[in-house]
Amino acid sequence: MAKLVGAFAASHGPLMARNWEGVGPQRLASVTRTFGELGRRFAECRADVLIVVSPDHWVNFFIDNLPSICIGVGEMHEGSPEPWLKVPFDNAIAGHPEFALHLADTALQRDFEPSLSHHLKLDHGFLIPLWKMGVTQLPAIVPIIVNIIEPPLPSFKRCYAWGELIRRAIDSYPGDLRVAILATGGLSHSIGEPDMGRLDEEFDRQCFEHFKSGDVPTLMEFLDRRTEAAGNGAAEVRNWVVAHGTAGGQGFDALGYHPYQEWYIGCGFASWNLPT
């Protein structure tokens, strides 16, 4: 039987790659320590399979074909085609089709209807956190793309239900696998809008408190009420909600918060508390 061994969240953004040192030495050292702690916790869980929940930034899909949820079920995934992203990973990234198809079948048996892809490109949303966490050897990756780009977006309640569904798939998988989940994106930021670069630190800090509390209904109400005003990029917190559902709504450790306008992101990092 498979086992959930870790649940994590990390922000991502192109300027983490393109302007890494632009935040100055002290703040760079601070966020580097946070990434390092996240990487240490991930390494300790010794995952065979990592589910990465991220948006697609117009790399795989466009408005003529825009799934709400897509599971990558291929044996291999392609690395990012973004020419500015120079990550230390091979361009061919191993998947785990057996578990991914089990996840898809579990979803379909419970009236969830994901899209499937046998060939996904993993863009900066997937790869920058793993790179900056110091992961040198990737486990098998099962990517899940959540639409946070173009309305209508999946509800927060549905994202939490997806997380619960992922946990059922892990618990029912017959093979002996250690599975972790990484949610990427968020927190507050605005991209391509008149207020581009605006951060909402109050929203971000309240997000942390609600996730830490384990009070799921209150978290859902808060996100429904406040997320849209925190910038269009804040919609990526849906990925965190998926991981929250997978972790059973347990509270988490907020590992660091770095509201860096040079990167246009209220950068947040977390690790969920799982029962031993």
Say if residues 243 and 170 touch (Cβ distance below 8 Å): no
**Which tokens in the block code for residue 269?**
């990092």
Say if residues 180 and 45 touch (Cβ distance below 8 Å): yes
Q: What angle do CA 199, 80, 25 make, to 5 degrees?
A: 45
End-to-end CA distance of the chain: 16
Q: Give the list of residues 6+ apart from residue 150 with CB closer than 8 angstroms, or none.
A: 63, 66
Active-site option among 96, 189, 210, 258: 189
**Which tokens in the block code for residue 58?**
């117009």
- Has 77 been annotated as catalytic? no
**Residue count (the chain):** 276
Task: Tell me the C-alpha distance between 241 and 153, whole Å.
Answer: 13
| Host H or E run for residue 94 | strand 92-94
- Has 124 been annotated as catalytic? yes
Strands 92-94 and 76-78 come out as: antiparallel
Say if residues 219 and 175 touch (Cβ distance below 8 Å): no
**Which tokens in the block code for residue 72?**
């990558």
Task: Tell me the C-alpha distance between 112 and 161, whole Å.
Answer: 10
Instruction: Give residue 35's identity as a one-letter amino acid code.
Output: F
Q: Which residues are catalytic?
A: 124, 189
